[in-house]
Structure 1
Amino acid sequence: MPAPSSSAEFSLKRIAVPAFGPSLLFGVGEGAILPIIPLMARDLGASVPVAALVIALIGIGSLLNNIPASVITARWGERQAIVAAGLWSAIGMALCVLTSHLGLFATGCLMVGMSQAVYNLARQSYMTEAVPFLHRARALSTLGGVMRIGMFIGPFLGAAAVHWFGLSAAFGVGIAGVLAAAAVGARLPDLELPPIAPGQPPPAAATIASTLRHHKRVFLTLGVGVLLVSAVRASRQVVIPLWADHIGLAPAVASLLYGLAGGIDMLVFYPAGKVMDHKGRQWVAVPSMLIMGLAMLLMPLTTGFTTLLLASLAIGFGNGIGSGLIMTLGADHSPRHGRAHFLGVWRLMSDIGGSCGPALLSLLAASLSLGAGIAATGLIAFAAAGALAYWIPPHRKPP
């Protein structure tokens, strides 16, 4: 299916189910198992640090598989990559359920992370080609937002399954979710590469090396800004519960704060995408990081539920308006030929930032204080805002 020729002919509603349905279902599947993984690891004999490492294997698997995911998507196409990711994730989850060996359980978690990399890259590549530029930010913001909604719903479905059938039942919900995502993804029509202009030779086959060489300026400028954004976003998942515990709030209250911040996050993704399409990427990218940075700088000054709630809601709002931002910027700068390789490197940089952010927060909290670590994360957000303001093109035309 070629990309629509004009934005007047295009409607997000026409592709809503095949394009956004797999994201919702994949998010439900993963969200159902994430809270259960450390508990099952503990049941299999893991210590608390080892259980934390097991759940970290999902992120590690995603990070390590970004480049192979680009090769898979370039070779087999987006639709087949989405289907394969769902099947591979289901196999990994089934391994987790069927084994009583901690090493095999950890392998299953790693497989889930590997599938996440393939799925995320393939869906981004598909939407980049299928959606006209004037609708791109709305489409990718919705893609990110729908995934977050699925991740929000998943734990509730998993909790219900666990209540009635035991811990492993959450993986049944997860398997059903990712298999349903694969089934819906199989309905995606294949995309066609744009035709070569008459008289021009066909472009040379793209490789990771050629992609790095041809686009090194983007990776070393805007790519660094994206790395900083990912570091801040990943850290936000840690700072709210940690600071709530630090000031003596009960775990249930910490969960409530986190949930309310997530609720705000999910409400604003589409308006933010619309602003990016109509005004430009800077109008959302820079405020997103400034709001999160200011909230994190103020968080160490909070002393109770009300003040921490305000800071948490600000973090959720700042993160929510940035939904789809990294995907949109990657789509804007990706070449039509060799797009999968470009997005693979782009996602690798994003995942590196997502891994380094919490690690830096942990290091600063251990060596200085938790408040200092959170404040430093706020400063990183300001640095990200500066990098995005400088390197994002101010116009709305495709780069």
Structure 2
Amino acid sequence: MTASVPPQRPNVELREVARGVYAPALVFEVGVGAIMPIIPLSAVALGANLAVAGLLVALLGVGQIVGDVPAGALAARIGDRRAMLVAAALSVLALMGCALAPNLGVLGAGVVCVGATNAVFTLARQSYLTEVIPVVKRARALSTLGGVQRIGAFIGPFIGAGVVDLVGLSGVYWLAVLTSLVAGLVVLVVPDVAGAEAVRRRHAAVMVPMRTVLRQNARVFLTLGFAVMAVGAVRASRQVVLPLWSEQLGFSPATTSIVFGISGAVDMLLFYPAGKVMDRRGRLWVAIPSMVVLGCAILALPMTTTLAGVTVAAMVMGLGNGIGAGILMTLGADVAPAAVRPQFLGIWRLFSDAGVAGGPLVVAAGAALGSLAAGIGAMGAVGLLGAVGLARWVPRWSDHANATTRRRAAERETRPPGPTPTAT
């Protein structure tokens, strides 16, 4: 199956979408990143124990999973930019609920809603970039989006820490309210670069039920979809295995935070070069090394016993994760049928986010059974299996997998019409 690509404006550059996509993405993610470490603290302040506080944090991911498929349907019905505006507005309401929450139930509901609005905002940005950016620059555009999200999530907690010192825990939620308002305002005032023809196609599009999209694309979801799930699981587990292993080795929280920060810094430096490689050489030139490096680094982590060893493993994890920035969004854009792109991407993100939710659970299960190292090792093995799955199925579904698939696609496009000769 090869996704058809509608006519696109060949002169759209990344800088043209920077104000309308990357700027609000950065601002929005700063707010989400700021509240991440505050959610468990707010839960404790409302009377929760540590287990319940951890569950409240997990509800953010639950909200994203719940919101993925409706996000695709919403973007298909009202358009990508309007979906971003709706998400920003609902995020403001959800964050206000978190700031004013009188009990754990209201806080939990607010966190779920924030996760759902994040799913809408992320999917709409991905679908919009896929529409307006020429395919030869698609990977750079989407890897830059992934990089911007990483930068926002990285600096958000630092800004949030300053706000906590000034006005307390609730102030961080009000900071996130402000970032959501600013993100929505930027989307509202920045002109649409898609062009009149693309806007006309949006309005003329016929709404296709999600079950139809799922049925028509079942083969890609049952193959490449599971590789995508593995990638999401491994990448999410990285955020869990580092602090847990550091805790087992007896490092202080401050030391663990520094190691995690170093890993994040390496992660953020590589998104644009990775996108350029994907555009020039093909998606597998980044996808497979990313999973192999990340999987091997996770496998090596339980063998480390010193701060230096953990730091090196953390940096290699950051390297593996960083070179894969935007790979799932790019693959989704490659294989999504143009006529039902938002709905397809909603289901695609459901597979990815299910992996994100499941990865840390595998690590936690290993720890609960008495062997944290076994749980970490299992996720490292999943990373290597993910690399195998990508190598097996990406060329089957994407013309942009590598140089060979691109050459074959070009040959199909230049082949004269008429019956295919048969061998005699």
The TM-score with structure 2 as length reference comes to: 0.89
Distance 2:145 2:79 in 1: 19
Structure 2 residue 402 is matched with structure 1 residue 395: yes
Name the structure 1 match of 2:142: 140
CA contact (8 A) 1:78 1:190 kept: no
Name the structure 1 match of 2:192: 189
RMSD: 1.8
Distance 1:34 1:5 in 2: 38
Change (3 A) 1:95 1:5: closer
> After superposition, where does 1:264-283 map in structure 2 within 5 Å?
264-283=266-285
| Cα offset, 1:204, TM superposition | 6.0
Name the structure 2 match of 1:199: none
CA contact (8 A) 2:366 2:373 kept: no
Name the structure 2 match of 1:103: 105
CA contact (8 A) 1:96 1:104 kept: yes
Name the structure 2 match of 1:291: 293
Distance 2:167 2:61 in 1: 28
Distance 2:279 2:168 in 1: 46
State the secondary structure of the residue aligned to 1:323: coil
CA contact (8 A) 1:77 1:190 kept: no
> After superposition, where does 1:217-366 map in structure 2 within 5 Å?
217-366=219-368
State the secondary structure of the residue aligned to 1:392: helix
Distance 1:342 1:188 in 2: 26
Change (3 A) 1:390 1:194: farther
Identity within the alignment, %:
46
Structure 2 residue 127 is matched with structure 1 residue 125: yes
* AA of the residue aligned to 2:9: S
Name the structure 1 match of 2:117: 115
2:91 maps to which of 89, 92, 111: 89
State the secondary structure of the residue aligned to 2:107: helix
CA offsets 1:17-72 (integer angstroms, 9 cap, x no match): 11211110111111111111111111111121111111211110110111111111
1:153 maps to which of 119, 143, 155: 155
Distance 1:158 1:247 in 2: 28
CA offsets 1:268-314 (integer angstroms, 9 cap, x no match): 00000000000000000000000011111111110101111111000
Structure 2 residue 9 is matched with structure 1 residue 5: yes
| Cα offset, 1:378, TM superposition | 0.7
Distance 2:249 2:60 in 1: 30
CA offsets 1:234-275 (integer angstroms, 9 cap, x no match): 100000011111112111111111000000000000000000
More displaced 10-residue stretch of structure 1: 179-188 or 255-264: 179-188
CA contact (8 A) 1:222 1:391 kept: yes
CA offsets 1:184-210 (integer angstroms, 9 cap, x no match): 1122517554988xxxxx986422111
Aligned residues: 391
> After superposition, where does 1:53-64 map in structure 2 within 5 Å?
53-64=55-66
CA contact (8 A) 2:12 2:132 kept: no
Distance 1:324 1:188 in 2: 24
* AA of the residue aligned to 1:395: N
* AA of the residue aligned to 2:274: A
Q: Which runs of 5+ in 2 are unaligned?
A: 1-5, 396-400, 411-424
Structure 2 residue 218 is matched with structure 1 residue 211: no
